[in-house]
Amino acid sequence: AAGVIQSPRHLIKEKRETATLKCYPIPRHDTVYWYQQGPGQDPQFLISFYEKMQSDKGSIPDRFSAQQFSDYHSELNMSSLELGDSALYFCASSRYDSGKENIQYFGAGTRLSVL
């Protein structure tokens, strides 16, 4: 079965540079979530989109922005990178189904290293 695809898998950037992470949800999934997992930390929710509209916002820095496109893929744009942005970034997707638990399926993550 198709899974959530994230690219790139690894990314190395310098401080103050920008980075773009991409996420391709499972086919027919309409909701995308972004999480950040720092070293030895639990994943922290950043932001989510449903049907191309932002649906929820967590602890996402103002330097970050994200969007969901017409084909439902999503991109997380990160600017003015800081050392503390080094983390594993997960994307998850789900399909909205009223009255049912919308299970989130996770991608393998993008490991961002800021030097």
Partner 1 sequence: GDSVTQMEGPVTLSEEAFLTINCTYTATGYPSLFWYVQYPGEGLQLLLKATKADDKGSNKGFEATYRKETTSFHLEKGSVQVSDSAVYFCALRAKAAGNKLTFGGGTRVLVKP
- Give the Cα separation of 62 and 49 in Å (integer): 17
Give the number of residues written for the chain.
115
Of the candidates 13, 34, 1, the residue with the CA atom closest to the CA atom of residue 85: 13
Smallest gap from Cβ 15 to partner 1, in A, equals 26
Residue 68 makes contact with partner 1 by CB under 8 A:
no
Smallest gap from Cβ 22 to partner 1, in A, equals 15
Residue 101 makes contact with partner 1 by CB under 8 A:
yes
Of the candidates 92, 107, 102, 95, the residue with the CA atom closest to the CA atom of residue 27: 95
- Interface stretch with partner 1, choices 21-29, 61-69, 76-84, 94-102 (CB under 8 A): 94-102
Burial tier of 93 (Cβ tally within 10 Å: 0-12, 13-18, 19+) = buried
Pick between residue 25 and residue 107 the one whose CB is nearest to partner 1. Answer: 107
Residue 7 makes contact with partner 1 by CB under 8 A:
no
Q: Which of residues 16-55 bind partner 1 (CB under 8 A)?
A: 31, 33, 35, 41-45, 48, 55
- Give the Cα separation of 87 and 94 in Å (integer): 23
The residue ranges that bind partner 1 (CB under 8 A) are: 4, 31, 33, 35, 41-45, 48, 55-56, 58, 90, 92, 94, 101-109
